[in-house]
């Protein structure tokens, strides 16, 4: 509907000879306004002026410098974190190799670390004896309990042998 109204108005303006003169004068007035504004150095098209464009350019350049500095800082931080990460991975691999030793596997079976003091090993052995002793279980479960008890005692015997060998 609006398009039809605009076409009708445009047709009426074009059909009248004085309307073309009015359009030409209005066009020259608009162009003259922009030329006059350009001499002042403040052409304002869609809210932007040359002066504000210069200020914006300086502000953008300052922001670019600020972001470039932040980027360089972040890149150096990333590089240092990568170095730390590689060192941590090396340490983790070394620890895994140590944990694969037969001694570590022996201690892990009873929930101990190879560096545990003797009194801790003795306390854990007493706890295993109390928990796994076959007399604590009903007759139908005593056979399995006896097997688990003997396995735990064998592990603690081997731990004692390893420690005696290491001390000698």
pLDDT in tens, 22-72: 666 666 666 666 655 555 555 555 454 566 667 778 888 889 999 999 999
CA distance 110 to 92: 23
Q: How far apart are CA 154 and CA 168, in angstroms?
A: 21
CA distance 106 to 114: 9
CA triple 59-60-63, angle to 5 deg = 90
| pTM given for the model | 0.41
pLDDT digits (tens, 9 = 90+) for 73-87: 999 999 999 999 999
Q: Do 129 and 92 belong together in one domain?
A: no
Residue 104 has pLDDT above 90, yes or no: no
What's the pLDDT score for residue 115? 84
Residue 126 pLDDT exceeds 90: yes
My answer on whether 81 and 138 are in the same domain is no
- Which pair of structure tokens corresponds to residue 37? 């504004």
Q: Among 75, 73, 69, 74, which residue's Cα sits nearest to residue 61?
A: 69
Q: Based on the fold, state whether residues 17 and 60 are members of the same structural domain.
A: no
Q: Are residues 115 and 64 in the same domain?
A: no
């Amino acid at each position: 509907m609006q398009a039809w109204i605009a076409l009708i108005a445009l047709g009426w303006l074009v059909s009248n000879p004085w309307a073309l003169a009015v359009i030409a004068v209005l066009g020259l007035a608009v162009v003259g306004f922009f030329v006059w504004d350009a001499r002042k150095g403040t052409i304002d098209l869609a809210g932007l002026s040359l002066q504000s464009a210069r200020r914006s350019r300086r502000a953008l350049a300052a922001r670019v410098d600020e972001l470039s500095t932040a980027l360089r800082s972040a890149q150096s931080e990333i590089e240092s974190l990568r170095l730390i990460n590689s060192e941590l991975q090396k340490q983790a691999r070394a620890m895994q190799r140590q944990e694969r030793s037969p001694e570590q596997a022996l201690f892990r079976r009873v929930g101990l670390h190879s560096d545990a003091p003797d009194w801790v090993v003795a306390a854990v052995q007493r706890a295993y004896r109390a928990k796994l002793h076959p007399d604590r279980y009903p007759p139908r479960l005593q056979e399995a309990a006896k097997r688990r008890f003997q396995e735990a005692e064998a592990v603690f015997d081997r731990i004692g042998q390893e420690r005696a060998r290491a001390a000698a």
